[in-house]
Amino acid sequence: HEGPPQPPAHGGSAHCSMSSLESSSWLTPSQSILSDGESSLGFAAHSEELPARPSGLPPVPDCFRCPISQQVMEDPVCLEDGRCYDRSSVASLSYEGAVQPHKELKEAIEAYFELLEDAERRQQDWAQYVAHHEQKLSRKLLQKKKQVQALRNALETCKRRADELGGRKATHSTLSTSASGASWSPVTEGSTEEFPASADADHADSLCEPQGDSPVFKAGPAPRSEAAAARSRRRPSAWSRLLPGRLAAAPRGARA
């Protein structure tokens, strides 16, 4: 059974997690966020605003592993035949020749783990940024949903009030129509029951006939009717009041 690779013991910056050395692919930040029950709606809607997602970390090269233990070599050495092993594994070969430290390979392994640690830190920073951005968008989305719900409630309230006012207006119009129908009933179009043709003819004839005694005028200084002239003749003159003696001496027939 193959165990996890071990990082070199030299240099503090060369240490990293065992899981990062064993697998070539990492959990994406969205998977870690979804595992916590967070919604990814805001992240999906604004993914173009986020920085580019780092492609997973590369696997450990095979040349960094010891051919015997399949672990990352902490102290690589070269044998006389050119083969490279970890110093701790050379004893299992029953090799009695000289060994030479492989400094270049050791430096390459240390530099690789330094880059791997930096890449891991960058990926963690990116995951934290995405989580913060998603939480911010989730709060904004929740606020917008509350605003939409408030607008819907206000719209429903206005609709109910409009329906109530419409019902009251229709009831008032019906009562007014029924009250005025007793004194006046409108004639429908094309109906001749209320006003027959004979009634229209009688009404037209009555308009043409003269109403009462029409005044008759004659030529003179001013148009006067005979009735007005008779009334003026019967009315006593104002001079009669000034001459009471003459009126008293006048015969009774003349007074009339």
- Give 65's strand partners: 72
The SS3 call for residue 152 is: helix
Residue 179 has pLDDT above 50, yes or no: yes
Compute and round to an integer the Cα radius of gyration of the chain. 61
The SS3 call for residue 239 is: helix
Torsion angle (degrees, nearest 10) of CA 93, 99, 103, 106: 10
Sheet holding 76-78, edge to edge: 84-86, 76-78, 100-101
* Euclidean distance between CA atoms 204 and 200, whole angstroms: 6
- Give 85's strand partners: 77
When pLDDT is cut at 50, 70 and 90, the band that residue 176 belongs to is confident
When pLDDT is cut at 50, 70 and 90, the band that residue 177 belongs to is confident
Residue 5 has pLDDT above 60, yes or no: no
Mean pLDDT of the chain: 68
pLDDT exceeding 70 applies to what percent of the chain? Answer: 47
User: Can you give the pLDDT at residue 223?
Assistant: 57
Query: Domains (ranges, CATH) in the chain?
Result: 12-166 (3.30.40.10)
- Model confidence pLDDT, tens digit, residues 18-62: 344 344 334 444 444 334 444 444 444 444 454 555 556 778 888
* Euclidean distance between CA atoms 7 and 86, whole angstroms: 12
Sign of CA dihedral 208, 209, 214, 218: positive
100 within 8 A of 85, measured Cβ to Cβ: no
The SS3 call for residue 190 is: coil
Tell me how far the alpha carbon of residue 93 is from its chain's centroid: 76
User: Can you give the pLDDT at residue 173?
Assistant: 76
Residue 155 has pLDDT above 70, yes or no: yes
User: Can you give the pLDDT at residue 139?
Assistant: 93
pTM of this prediction? 0.36
